[in-house]
Amino acid sequence: MTNGNRFRRIALGVAGAAMTLCLAMGAHAQSVMQSVTVRVEPGQMATYLDRVGALQGVLDRAGSGGKVAVWNADFAGSRAGTTLVGVSFPSLAAYAESTTKTNADPEWQKIMSGLGDIRTVVSTALLVSRDGGALAPPAAGSVLQGVIVRANPGQGDAYEAKLDALRKVQKRLGTSGDMRVWRISVGGETAGSYAVGIIYPNLAAWAADSQKVQADAEGAEIFASLDGLRTVMSISLFTAQ
């Protein structure tokens, strides 16, 4: 099976899961993000980005509101050097509709087939937003600090409440970080976990704002209280392309 065919089967499977989630949740307008982590072949990044950009054109034509963002993993353990592609949609229903349309689109199929020789898919996931609308494509050079955590049994609501409190601390301190919280609905071993991302305008802002929040008494107290609520699975730092 080619990488292109494999990706299409993955996408169709995730679309089926999304349709099931829509029925279970009453198709509430929670934004979702399909994430695909890939390892691009050496010397092929420019070509890969061009082809991903062409996929955005097909998504626009499908009319479902899908927006593509591309991030390079600068610090991510064994996944350092990989590329994270996130496609945000305004709702699960929009995602399912878009996936059905694009998988049947000849241009989409041609582009996906052309990706097979220049990248290897590492993982895929479907994330449901817990706190807001679809994620807009970031400006080039933006920095994303991503944390994957598994809430301890019965502590999901308490964990989310602490994140809300931390967001208020960020606002009080005037930081530039934009915190987003997702629940991983479909994603292999990470399914059911939280993905917490904070987007900063650049690396300097990430460093300065992180120090500011950690030096704040209330911020430090919130961070300390998280230890009893969740287990950290990974912490990564990405740069937008």
Domains and CATH numbers, the chain: 3-129 (3.30.70.100), 143-240 (3.30.70.100)
Specify the pLDDT at position 45. Answer: 97
End-to-end Cα separation, the chain, in angstroms: 30
Mean pLDDT, consecutive 10-residue stretches, the chain (241 aa), reads 46 43 48 96 97 96 93 94 96 94 96 96 95 80 96 97 97 96 90 95 96 96 95 96 92
Residue 136's pLDDT is what? 77
pLDDT of residue 29: 64
Predicted pLDDT of residue 64: 84
What's the confidence (pLDDT) of residue 225? Answer: 96
Q: Which pTM was predicted?
A: 0.84
For residue 90, the model assigns a pLDDT of 93
What is the pLDDT, as a whole number, of residue 188? Answer: 82
Q: In this structure, how many other beta carbons lie within 10 angstroms of the beta carbon of residue 89?
A: 26
* pLDDT value, residue 12: 42
